[in-house]
């Protein structure tokens, strides 16, 4: 995405020294290691403070380090971004929750691969300055895991498009400024060939965003209703009816190709599962040999996940990552995060299941356990990832498809007419 060289060691070390001086002068040191916050931590006020931090990075020349200079980035090689991430670990940096991933690691990298230069010159600097956070308007109530079964309709009207339909499971849409929306623009084409991506302002007239209250009394996901939402033709991402190609790129980034690894693979295994060790101490079980084995397994999961993520990110930077290969990272998380969550409950015992309400982190272990299966479902089930690996990487026969080559309007008519069998 940048076309820059990696620079020699002296250049990178000189860059490191400049970063250290700038960080000391412009950002606040952390008083504790960075941690994952609860969903309800993120509010408009919290995001406003982090937008200001993002603006500080932008003004200082440390936003979009590996993004093209033509669109507001610095145009440097990923190695320089890794240097910045390493040095910035000790400082408070912007944290937009899940919107960090959807904006900086998924949606905008997809835009950089497919959007017009005119759009990118207008939009990307707003992202880098903290003025534009982006969510995904992707899933729909009627299509489930069939990503190509989109029914949200985009109708051409002169130089603009009119959107009508519904989306769901859009993470942090109520806090975002824009959404990347997949809509159907040709109903007579097969389902994969009649799709187009649009960038939609979340404050658009006719767009209603409703947070979904979850069992934990938080609202991470939203549902959206599009009622004659007007989108300029300049805000199409990729070609009209070429949305499936854009989707394949997005899925690669969603699986980890867009995330800078910060030298994760080179940094070694790191400390022994710090959250689990703290839990073992709090439970008075740190000397228990069975607990020590569980700590070792959690640590192994952490390190293997880190190395796999680093490898996927590197393949993405080299342009060698296809959706099937990217599925390995998603399958790993869907398989082993539930195991790690269960380990936390086994180590913590009753302390993990009950906690002092005054402890802001007391519910984290049990919440991780209750949410443990989310990674095996959200963003594509484990079964879907195995299919992708089997068919696209291992070359096994594809599953039969009875609707992929039919006009999508015919698919819907046949679905409506189908009576089923007993």
pLDDT of residue 36 exceeding 80: no
First vs last C-alpha separation in the chain: 54
Give the dihedral of Cα atoms 302, 258, 199, 249; nearest 10 deg.
-110
Report pLDDT for 34.
77
Q: How confident is the model at residue 346 (pLDDT cuts 50, 70, 90)?
A: very high
Are the beta carbons of 56 and 26 closer than 8 angstroms? yes
pLDDT of 4 above 60? no
Q: Residue 419: its pLDDT value, please?
A: 60
pTM of the model: 0.86
Q: Is the Cβ–Cβ distance between 330 and 276 less than 8 Å?
A: no
pLDDT interval class at 420 (50, 70, 90): low
> Is residue 254 annotated as part of the catalytic site, yes or no?
yes
Q: 71: which 2 tokens?
A: 């669109």
- Torsion sign over Cα 392, 398, 401, 407: positive
How high is the mean pLDDT of the chain? 89
How far apart, in Å, are the Cα atoms of 310 and each of 82, 90, 202, 263? 11, 21, 33, 8
Q: Which two tokens stand for residue 284?
A: 């008075």
pLDDT tens-digit series, residues 137-189: 999 998 767 888 999 999 999 999 999 999 999 999 999 999 999 999 999 99
Adjacent-strand bridge partners of 162 = 155, 230
CATH topology agreement for domains 136-248 and 261-393: no
Question: What is the per-residue pLDDT for 399?
Answer: 83
Q: What is the mean pLDDT of residues 22-49?
A: 90
Q: Of these residues, 81, 254, 287, 399, which one is catalytic?
A: 254
Which of 19, 121, 135, 112 lies closest to 66 in space, CA to CA?
112
Q: What CATH topology corresponds to 136-248? A: Butyryl-CoA Dehydrogenase, subunit A; domain 2 (2.40.110)
**Looking at the predicted structure, is the pLDDT value of residue 344 above 90?**
yes
Of the candidates 169, 170, 172, 167, which has an alpha carbon nearest to the alpha carbon of residue 154? 167
Query: Which residue in 244, 258, 387 sits closest to 321, CA to CA?
Result: 258
3-state secondary structure 134-175: EEEECCCCCCCCCCCCCCCEEEEECCEEEEEEEEEEEECHHH
Q: Given this model, what pLDDT does residue 422 score? A: 43
Span 87-94, average pLDDT: 95
pLDDT (average), residues 291-297: 96
pLDDT digits (tens, 9 = 90+) for 268-281: 788 899 999 999 99
Residue 21 has pLDDT above 60, yes or no: yes
Domain edges within the chain: 9-95, 136-248, 261-393
Strands (E), 15-158: 134-137, 153-157
Query: What average pLDDT does the segment 196-207 reach?
Result: 98
For residues 376 and 380, give the distance between their C-alpha atoms in angstroms, rounded to a whole number: 8
Average pLDDT over every residue of 114-135? 98
Q: Which pLDDT score is estimated for 298?
A: 96
pLDDT, residue 6, reads 56
Say yes or no to pLDDT of 3 above 70: no
The CA-based diameter of the chain, rounded to the nearest angstrom, is 73
Residue 69 confidence (pLDDT): 97
Asked if the 261-393 domain carries CATH number 1.20.140.10, the reply is yes
Which stretch of DSSP H or E encloses residue 209?
Answer: strand 207-211
Task: Please give the helix or strand (H or E) that residue 234 lies within, else none.
Answer: none
Classify 225 as helix, strand or coil.
strand
Q: Cα separation of 120 and 285, whole Å?
A: 54
Take residue 378 and report the two structure tokens written for it. 């959200």
Q: What pLDDT, on a 0 to 100 scale, did the predictor assign at position 262?
A: 44
Inform me whether the pLDDT recorded for 260 exceeds 70.
Answer: no
Residues 6+ apart with CB under 8 A from 253: 105, 106, 109, 110, 316
Q: Is the pLDDT of residue 33 over 60?
A: yes
Q: Give 353-406 pLDDT, tens digit per residue.
A: 888 888 877 888 988 898 888 888 877 889 988 998 998 889 999 888 878 889
241 neighbors 290 (Cβ within 8 angstroms):
no
Average pLDDT over residues 195-224: 93
Percent of the chain with pLDDT over 70: 94
93 pLDDT more than 90: yes
- CB-CB contact of 168 with 137 (8 Å): no
Q: What is the percentage of the chain residues whose pLDDT exceeds 90?
A: 63
pLDDT > 80? residue 2: no
Q: pLDDT tier at 192 (50, 70, 90 boundaries)?
A: very high
Q: Residues near 412 by Cβ (< 8 Å), separated by ≥ 6? A: 151
- What tokens appear for 158 in the block? 């002169």
pLDDT reported for residue 205:
98
């Amino acid at each position: 995405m940048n076309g820059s060289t990696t620079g020699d060691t002296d250049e990178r070390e000189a860059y490191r020294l400049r970063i250290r001086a700038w960080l000391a002068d412009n950002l606040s040191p952390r008083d504790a290691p960075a941690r994952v916050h609860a969903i309800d931590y993120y509010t408009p006020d919290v995001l406003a403070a982090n937008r200001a931090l993002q603006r500080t990075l932008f003004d200082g020349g440390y936003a979009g380090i590996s993004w093209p200079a033509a669109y507001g980035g610095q145009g440097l090689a990923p190695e320089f971004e890794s240097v910045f991430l390493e040095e910035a670990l000790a400082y408070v940096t912007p944290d937009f929750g899940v919107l960090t991933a959807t904006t900086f690691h998924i949606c905008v990298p997809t835009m950089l691969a497919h959007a017009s230069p005119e759009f990118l010159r207008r939009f990307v600097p707003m992202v880098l300055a903290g003025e534009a956070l982006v969510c995904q308007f992707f899933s729909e109530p009627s299509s489930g895991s069939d990503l190509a079964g989109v029914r949200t309709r985009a109708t051409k009207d002169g130089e603009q498009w009119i959107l009508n339909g519904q989306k769901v499971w859009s993470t942090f849409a109520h806090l975002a400024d824009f959404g990347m929306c997949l809509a159907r623009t040709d109903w007579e084409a097969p389902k994969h060939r009649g799709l187009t991506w649009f960038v939609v302002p979340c404050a658009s007239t006719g767009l209603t965003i409703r947070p979904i209250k979850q069992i934990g009394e938080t609202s991470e996901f939203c549902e959206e209703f599009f009622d004659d939402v007007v989108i300029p033709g300049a805000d199409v991402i990729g070609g009209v009816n070429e949305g499936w190609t854009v989707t394949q790129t997005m899925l690669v980034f969603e699986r980890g190709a867009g995330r800078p690894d910060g030298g994760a693979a080179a940094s070694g295994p790191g400390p022994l599962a710090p959250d689990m060790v703290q839990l073992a101490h709090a439970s008075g079980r740190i000397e228990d040999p069975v607990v020590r084995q569980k700590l070792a397994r959690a640590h192994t999961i952490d390190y293997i996940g880190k190395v796999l993520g680093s490898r996927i990110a590197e393949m993405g930077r080299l342009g060698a990552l296809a959706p099937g290969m990217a599925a390995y990272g998603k399958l790993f998380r869907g398989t082993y995060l539930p195991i790690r969550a269960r380990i936390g409950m086994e180590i913590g015992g009753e302390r993990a299941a009950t906690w002092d309400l005054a402890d802001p982190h007391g519910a984290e272990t049990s919440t991780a356990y209750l949410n443990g299966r989310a990674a095996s479902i959200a963003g594509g089930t484990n079964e879907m990832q195995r299919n992708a690996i089997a068919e696209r990487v291992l070359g096994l026969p594809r599953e039969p498809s009875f609707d992929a080559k039919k006009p999508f309007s015919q698919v819907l008519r046949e679905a409506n007419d189908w009576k089923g069998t007993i």
